[in-house]
Structures are given as structure tokens and as C-alpha cells.
Amino acid sequence: MRQDLSKATSWVAHIFGVLAIATFAFVGAAFAGLKASSVQLSGDSQKTEVRISIDQDPDLHWFLLRTPYRLVVELPETTFAIEPRSLKPLGLVDGVRYGKAAEGRSRIIFTSRKPFSVERVEIESGADKDGYSLAVSLAASSDSAFQSAMSEQVSATASIPARPDGDTTPVKPFTVVIDPGHGGFDGGAEGVSGTREKDITLAFSRELRDSLIQLPNFKVVMTRDSDMFLRLDDRVRVAQSNEADLFISIHADSIRYTGLRGATVYTGSDQASDADSQALADRENLVDQIGSASLPEENQEVTDILFDFVRRETQDYSWRVAKDLVGSLSQTIGVINNPHRHARFRVLRAPDVPSVLVELGYLSNADDESSLLDPQWRAKAVGSIATAVEKFAERKGVSTAQTER
């Protein structure tokens, strides 16, 4: 048991940590909040314990990944002062890697050649000279057991693990960033009777925001709430600095087939599902070159060893929410053939934020244009998107069942 004093100190440290992360997320500077040192491994190939000294009592999340078998522990941004020699493989642990995962967040990854089950991942106090230690226990298991633990985490609680009993710290709200496409001098597509895409996307996004903020435990942020130009990178940054659980970019583009109408949901991908999707992504991506001197592509992809599997997990979520959106939009406003498509959209490339782009309809089609201008049609579309978002939030363990609607 902790003494009262250390409890209070830890609480203050925790609050300070949260504030410091929030502050530094805004200015974008590095935050050296947490320090980790001295790793100790013990045990054998049946059961392996890891203990890492840390100087605070942080919030942590963990999740599993496969090929190879991995346990990923997510912490606030951490400075690692770990002796490489202490990372020699032992028992079930073949490797320990660590580093920065995103602004304000770090990860430690334990790799194993054999499947394992996670017996515990927790912070212990008073066990170490630094004050705390991150204690991890792994036990040998089977591939099928590992597989089912993994699919459980994806389908049910995702990377939000069960909270220990008695933990009453407030849960971070489910944060949705809505991105009204285009704006300012970038008007986007133009409708057959003169409707500008940037106006439709803003009007619709405001209505979607007003609907989503009614859900309990929801927070909604708009990338723009006026007729202003915003670079694609900046839109992505809004999602990342708000630690968004979901990013939805709203569009109503035009297409050369004037007869084509209906909604489409896009996810980001290096490989386009079809030529039209790629052409659309190319057109959308051009905006950053017109807007101002283009910034070089961040090379985080190359330098960050964590990037790849964080991105894989994020992609899983993006696909799930896209499927939910297609399911609910097809029942109300109608969708095109093969309504879930993918291409390399710059605005969908946050590696750590599930992201989708919704084309509500085509301004190149006269019927779609008049639908987009019809408040009743928009209300139906807003309702369908809200239903899908709510379903996704529930999958991620956010309770939205407190209100009667």
C-alpha cells in the first residue's frame, strides 16, 4: 500500500504530467515528462518477468500485435536512459525496443518468437529507487490463444484496456475531429447550379458536430469553423494534437460521370482501389502545393520503428468505421457501387488516428446537388453518420448508453 504522502505526490505528478502534455502538444515541443531506466528481466521460457524503473506513476495502455508476437505498452512521452546491455534476450522476451510514437506519446515493445499470454502490465510503487516500476509478466501460451486475445482486443475494447477496480480518474472523452473539406480560396468542386463544395462541407460539418456533441463522453473539434484555407497537413495536425479517436473529412466533389450519384467512404491506402479514387486523391492532394511552399513529407515513416504497426492498427480501425458508415448511409441517403474505396489521400495519413473521408454525393450531379442543399436530406445523412460513429465508439469501449434518444 502506498502512503498518503506518496499518493498525493503521485496525484500531483499525474496532474502535472497531463497538463504538461497538453501544453506541449500545443507548442509542439518535446516533453521530457517521464524517465525510464534500468530494465531487469527474470524467469524462463515458461514465464518471464520484466521490470523497468520509472520516476512517475503514468497512465498506460497496452495491446498485442502479431508476426512477430509483440506486446506494446503505451506511455506518456518518456525519456529512456536504458543500458543496452540490460536488454539481452531472456525467456519469452527476444527483444525490447522503445521510442517516441507520436507527439506526447512513447511506446515500449516486447517481442517474442513464441506466443504468450499477458498476466499483468502494471505500475508498482515503492519497489524501486526511482519510485515506481513498470512490471510485465508474460506466460507461454499457444498461437490460437494469442490470436484470440488479439481479436478480442480489436473487436471489443481495442487499445483501451479494462481499467483497474477503484480507478476513478476521468476517462478521456471520445474525440471526433470533423474536417470540412476545402475553404478560403480553395472552393473545391462547383455544382451544376453554382453550389460551392467548401460551403456545403462547412454547413454539413456544423450540423454533424451539433449532433455528435449530444452523445455522452463525446468531444468534437472542427478543423475549420469558418471560410478559411487550411493545409492538409494542418488538418491532420488538428487530429493528432487533440489525440482524436476518429477523424472524418467531409467532401462533395464532382466526377466526370454526371449521371453518377450517391455517397462514398474512403480510407487511406498506398494502393488505390480504382483509378477514379486515385484521381480524386491526386486532385485533393494538389491543394497543399497551391496553398504555399509545400513542406517536405515527414520522414517519420522511415525513422520511427514503431510507425508500421501503429499504422496497421489504425488502418484496421479506419476500415471498421468505413464499413459501419457504408452500412448506415446505404440505408438512408444511398451509396455508389463499391461504396468503400481507398486511395492515397494526404488528409488521411495520420498514422495514429483512424481516418475516413466521406463524399456525401457529387456536385456534378444535379440531383445530388439539390439533395445537398436540402436540410431534411442533410439531417438524414447526419443521423446515419452519427449512428456509425456511435457504434465505433462503443466498440472502443466508450459508453454512449446514458441518454435516452
Q: Which residue is nearest to Zn ion (CB)?
A: 251
Q: Is the sign of the CA dihedral 104, 109, 115, 121 positive or negative?
A: negative
Interacting residues with Zn ion between 137 and 196 (CB under 5 A) = 181, 188
Interacting residues with Zn ion between 234 and 263 (CB under 5 A) = 251, 253
DSSP state letters, 128-156: STTSEEEEEEEEE--HHHHHHHHHHIIII
In one-letter notation, the amino acid at residue 251 is H
368 forms part of the interface with Zn ion (CB under 5 A) = no
> Under a CB-based contact definition with an 8 Å cutoff, are residues 179 and 223 in contact?
yes
Q: Give the span between the Cα atoms of 277 and 264, in whole angstroms.
A: 10
CB of residue 279 to Zn ion, shortest distance in Å: 12
CB of residue 357 to Zn ion, shortest distance in Å: 8
CB of residue 389 to Zn ion, shortest distance in Å: 20
Query: Residue 39 or residue 287: which is nearer to Zn ion going by CB?
Result: 287
CB of residue 353 to Zn ion, shortest distance in Å: 19
> From the CB of residue 86, how many other CB atoms can be counted at a distance below 10 Å?
13
Interacting residues with Zn ion between 13 and 52 (CB under 5 A) = none
Q: Give the span between the Cα atoms of 140 and 306, in whole angstroms.
A: 24
Query: Residue 253 or residue 313: which is nearer to Zn ion going by CB?
Result: 253
Q: Give the span between the Cα atoms of 73 and 63, in whole angstroms.
A: 7
CB of residue 345 to Zn ion, shortest distance in Å: 10
In one-letter notation, the amino acid at residue 184 is G
Interacting residues with Zn ion between 320 and 349 (CB under 5 A) = none
Query: Residue 251 or residue 311: which is nearer to Zn ion going by CB?
Result: 251
Query: Residue 115 or residue 268: which is nearer to Zn ion going by CB?
Result: 268
> Under a CB-based contact definition with an 8 Å cutoff, are residues 346 and 232 in contact?
yes
CB of residue 344 to Zn ion, shortest distance in Å: 15
DSSP designation for 227: S
- Residues in binding contact with Zn ion, number by CB under 5 A: 4
By CB under 5 A, name the binding residues for Zn ion. Answer: 181, 188, 251, 253
